[in-house]
Amino acid sequence: MKKFFLMAAMVMAGITASAQNEPLANSKLSDNWYLGGNIGAVTPLNGAFFGNMRPTVGLEVGRYLTPVFGIGVEGRAKFNTIKAFTAVDQAYGFLLGKFNLSNLFYGYKGEPRNFEVVALAGPGIEHNFGDAKDTYLAYKAGLEFNFNLGEAKAWQFNIKPGIVWGVNNALVPETELNKNGATFEINAGFTYKFKCSNGTHNFAFAKVDQSELDALNNTINRLRDENAERAKNDAATIENLKNQLKDCQNSKPATVVEKKSPVENIVTFRQGKSIIDKSQMPNIDRVAKFLNDNSSSKVVIKGYASPEGSAKLNQKLSLARANAVKKVLVNKYKIAADRIETEGLGVGSIFTEPTYNRVSICTVND
């Protein structure tokens, strides 16, 4: 039974934690502990309510795992008011799961409310002293009406009604809950909540550096805008080149002559890059097919760059783009290197839009 209760408590702790919307400051194992003491009265449910009433005193220690869920251990003693063998005729202890209903249904606001309602339940053990010595299982369920006191709300005044069922004893031999072995209790007292590592006596929200969050959001938005603009420009470049290529293809003579016409293909590159995108491979494949079909043909590859950057850098980049196409023809299509000539012509002016000149133009001649 204890194992079942502990497992249920762990599950409920995870569920009730989801009732908290804002992030809480990290808690240490030493945080959110409390100690309480109270006095009250207890009376059986199957006898004279006031005639059998006895005074009690209790002590409780526990810890809240979330603003909603906590675990406590309670010990209590019941005193005789008539002449008897012992002054204390009954003692019992309980392991209690506690649920702050105010925080569960209305959320935690960063500090406790002035008034809160807590439900509790759990198993325990009772022991009778005197002539009828007996030790047996017990279960408890009840409520706490808590009044948080002071600016720091470190102290609580508690009113605690509850019912305790004793089982497997002389009155209730079977493991069942009924009024024959049940008692009603009402207690009142004070609870002290120890100071936490967050500087308060309660759970606190995590402190967020708003300026840091704003800076991160600004960076994310800027990168998104830059990426969208880059994608837009690339799409426009590709579409323009496709149209130009289509015009070139459509302008060819409709008749096929025995002598092969020169083949000219365009391979485009991204800004500042000499790496060939997969989308450009069909253009190189067309040049390679022509060269394989016409063993005497050679190709001249002229690389160009757009005007961004220094002239020296663009000259180097344009040559690298031409050599990148040559490398694919040699390595992938096995075209002899002496059939390929490369030139780097720096900033190009082939196209009216400067950014369109990030190309290598392959011209095949017999």
pLDDT in tens, 301-333: 999 998 888 888 989 988 998 899 999 999 999
Percentage of the residues of the chain whose pLDDT score is greater than 70: 85
Structure confidence at residue 20 (pLDDT)? 52
Distance CA 34, CA 122 (A): 18
pLDDT, average across residues 6-17: 51
Select, from the ranges 3-12, 51-60, 115-124, 248-257, the one with the highest average predicted confidence (pLDDT): 115-124
Burial classification of residue 101, based on how many CB atoms lie within 10 Å of its CB (0-12 exposed, 13-18 middle, 19 or more buried): middle
Structure confidence at residue 179 (pLDDT)? 76
The span from the first CA to the last CA of the chain, in angstroms, equals: 92
Same fold, 2-193 and 253-365: no
Q: Is 6 a residue whose pLDDT tops 70?
A: no
Residue 183 near residue 43 (C-beta atoms within 8 A)? yes
**Single pTM value for the model:** 0.53
Q: Is 173 a residue whose pLDDT tops 70?
A: no
Structure confidence at residue 68 (pLDDT)? 94
CATH 3.30.70.270 fits domain 2-193: no
Residue 194 near residue 34 (C-beta atoms within 8 A)? yes
More confident residue, 295 or 101: 101
- Of 71-80, 287-296, 346-355, least confident by mean pLDDT is 346-355
Q: Is 18 a residue whose pLDDT tops 50?
A: no
Q: Is 16 a residue whose pLDDT tops 70?
A: no
Nearest Cα to Cα of residue 75 among 87, 62, 63, 57? 57
Whether the CA torsion 18, 19, 21, 27 is positive or negative: it is negative
Q: What is the mean pLDDT of the chain?
A: 85
Residue 284 near residue 329 (C-beta atoms within 8 A)? yes
Each domain of the chain, given as residue ranges in start order, spans 2-193, 253-365
Show the tokens assigned to 33. 């502990």
Strand ordering across the sheet containing 263-268: 263-268, 359-365, 298-305, 340-347
Q: Name the fold adopted by 253-365.
A: 60s Ribosomal Protein L30; Chain: A; (3.30.1330)
Structure confidence at residue 2 (pLDDT)? 47
Residue 342 near residue 323 (C-beta atoms within 8 A)? yes
Structure confidence at residue 172 (pLDDT)? 60
Looking up tokens 């938005």, which residue turns up?
A: 221
Confidence band (pLDDT; 50, 70, 90) for 123? very high
